[in-house]
Structure 1
Amino acid sequence: MRWMRYLAVILAAVFTFGCDNQGRPVQEFGLDKLSKGVSSEGDVRMVMGKPDTVREEEDGSRTLEYPKGPEGARTWMFSIGKDGVLRDYKQVLTEENFARIKQGMTQDEIRWMLGKPRTVVQYKLKNEEVWDWKYMADSTTPRLFNVHFDIGTRKVTRTSTSDATNY
């Protein structure tokens, strides 16, 4: 009986640690410390670390890119206003975001939309370059989202998905 109480306490601690202040599962540890419209770029860097990429926008705002998770299964984009305040953040490796990719888009457009790809492979006989991102299809199933580009034009020709359990 005593060991069951210990087990219950341990499980409660584990589940509490993985939840935010409202009891919702944490998407990324540290996000609960950031507030849109309040937190500074310094706060974001303190919580998330050094960004993989920083994109400077013409209006003085910035986008910070953070590939996270095992082999980049999540990529977070943080929008920082020209005043240095956090405007928004989002996880970009989602089915909804993938559906926005259309034939004819450029490699730069895809790079800024999805972040740094996991791999880039050229198939010269097919005149094709394929970028892929590992993501979680239903929170538990690893998948690869692939964007196929024409090597000459560097524009999207198509997209595809594949099983990532063997990668």
Structure 2
Amino acid sequence: MKRIVVWLCSLLSAIGLAACDYINLRELEPGVSTEQQVRDRFGPPQMEWRNDDGSVTWEYSRQPEGIECFMITIGADRILRSIDQVLNERTFARVETGMNGDQVRRLLGKPASSQFFQLKQETVWEWKIDHGQATGGEPAYFTVSFNTDGRVVGTGRYTKHRG
């Protein structure tokens, strides 16, 4: 039975539903859980980032409908090191003017959307960061703007008003 629940959660996670993330996260323990246990619960990562120390960080974004992006680091010994939900104020503050898209993606994961604005000559990436609990029922987004050279020129936030 447990195997069926794990399989169902992995399937739901793969299609962007975070309903099982709570269960999956509780069953994984940094310093103890293996790489295979992480894959069994979260499925294949959307992106793999190689780190200088031989570890690898796996990206599990819940965008565009979810409000999380988990960066899960596996040590060179194939043991779980850490699980970080990176769509938060601390990580947003790390986005700096002049960064390129790969650097931003490494911090925040895949954005919910990307749009080019002809008049400003900017591309804006956005991440959904709130379903509406903090904004009175309206979803909120964090944005990063890039110039035509692909470099960050600013960040922002907005609330998408329905209606």
TM-score band w.r.t. shorter chain = 0.7 to 0.9
Q: How does 1:1-167 map to 2 (within 5 A)?
A: 28-68=22-62, 71-136=65-130, 140-141=134-135, 142-152=139-149, 154-166=150-162
Amino acid in structure 2 at the alignment position of 1:160: G
Gaps of 5+ in 2: 1-19
Identical-pair percentage: 38
Q: Secondary structure at the match of 1:31?
A: helix
Q: Could you tell me how far apart the structure 1 residues matched to 2:160 and 2:24 are?
A: 27
Post-superposition offset of 1:79 = 0.5
Tell me the matched-pair count. Answer: 141
Question: Where do 4+ consecutive residues of structure 1 move more than 6 Å?
Answer: none
Greater Rg over alpha carbons, structure: 1
Tell me the alpha carbon deviations over residues 49-94 of structure 1, each in whole angstroms, 9 at most, x when there is no partner.
2211122234321111111276131110001111111111110011
Classify 1:98/1:139 alpha carbon distance in 2 versus 1 (closer, same or farther; 3 Å).
farther
Gaps of 5+ in 1: 1-25
Q: Could you tell me how far apart the structure 1 residues matched to 2:29 and 2:56 are?
A: 17
Task: Calculate the TM-score normalised by the size of structure 2.
Answer: 0.77
Classify 1:48/1:138 alpha carbon distance in 2 versus 1 (closer, same or farther; 3 Å).
same
